[in-house]
């Protein structure tokens, strides 16, 4: 029966390698860790750290989606946070003021659902848009149509910013 802490396979070994030309060379393998249990413990800790970092990054991304710019603000990227907040906010305010269509979940076709998903991308500003637009949408004029596009653009832009914040929180170059 093999014991659980049998680390014979990890012992330092010397192997003779014969190169294509010249004398044979002795190559030493890297020394093993102090013990197998210590190695598995460090692996567990690394996995826990990775899970914690991933969870934190995910929470940062969700925060950035719910309130535009918050994902970057949590990482002290103040310039980006301010720009995202102002850009999404101004697009939503302008779009709603131009009486663009703020889509709801009760859409009649696929385009309405797509518009709803895009509008939801603005996070809490979606409700702001519905509050501003008291008289409802009016897409019979070009202004209303532009407003609809502004609102959808604000949502997609905020989703992009949230994804950027998530990647930055994961430690990717951003």
28 membership: H or E segment, kind and range: strand 25-28
Choose, by CB under 8 A, the member of 103, 125, 150, 166 that binds another protein: 150
Q: Establish if 75 lies at the interface with another protein (CB under 8 A).
A: no
Contact 128, 151 (CB under 8 A): no
Checking phi first, is residue 104 left (phi over 0); if not, alpha (psi -120 to 50) or beta? beta
Q: Is 26 in the site for another protein (CB under 8 A)?
A: no
Q: Which of 57, 73, 118, 157 binds another protein (CB under 8 A)?
A: 157
Verify binding: residue 131, another protein, rule CB under 8 A. no
Within residues 78-107, the interface with another protein by CB under 8 A covers 79-80, 83-84, 87, 90-91, 94, 97-99
The size of the chain, in residues, is 174
CB of 124 to another protein, least distance (A): 18
Structure tokens at 97: 């003021």
139 interacts with another protein by CB under 8 A: no
Binding flag, residue 172, another protein (CB under 8 A): no
Instruction: Retrieve residue 121's tokens.
Output: 């991308």
Distance CA(148)–CA(156), nearest Å, equals: 13
Encoded tokens for 56? 């934190």
The residues that touch another protein, with contacts defined as CB under 8 A, are 79-80, 83-84, 87, 90-91, 94, 97-99, 135, 138, 142-144, 146, 149-150, 153, 157, 160-161, 164
């Amino acid at each position: 029966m093999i014991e659980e802490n049998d680390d014979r396979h990890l012992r330092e070994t010397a192997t003779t390698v014969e190169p294509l030309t010249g004398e044979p060379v002795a190559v030493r393998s890297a020394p093993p860790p102090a013990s197998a249990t210590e190695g598995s413990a460090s692996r567990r800790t690394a996995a826990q750290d990775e899970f914690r970092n991933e969870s934190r990054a995910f929470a940062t991304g969700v925060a950035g989606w719910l309130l535009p710019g918050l994902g970057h603000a949590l990482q002290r990227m103040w310039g980006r946070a301010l720009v995202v907040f102002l850009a999404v906010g101004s697009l939503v305010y302008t779009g709603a003021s131009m009486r663009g269509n703020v889509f709801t979940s009760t859409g009649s076709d696929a385009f309405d659902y797509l518009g709803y998903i895009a509008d939801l991308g603005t996070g809490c500003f979606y409700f702001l848009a519905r509050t501003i637009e008291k008289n409802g949408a009016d897409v019979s004029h070009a202004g209303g149509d532009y407003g609809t596009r502004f609102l959808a653009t604000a949502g997609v832009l905020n989703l992009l910013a949230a994804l950027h914040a998530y990647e930055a929180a994961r430690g990717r170059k951003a």
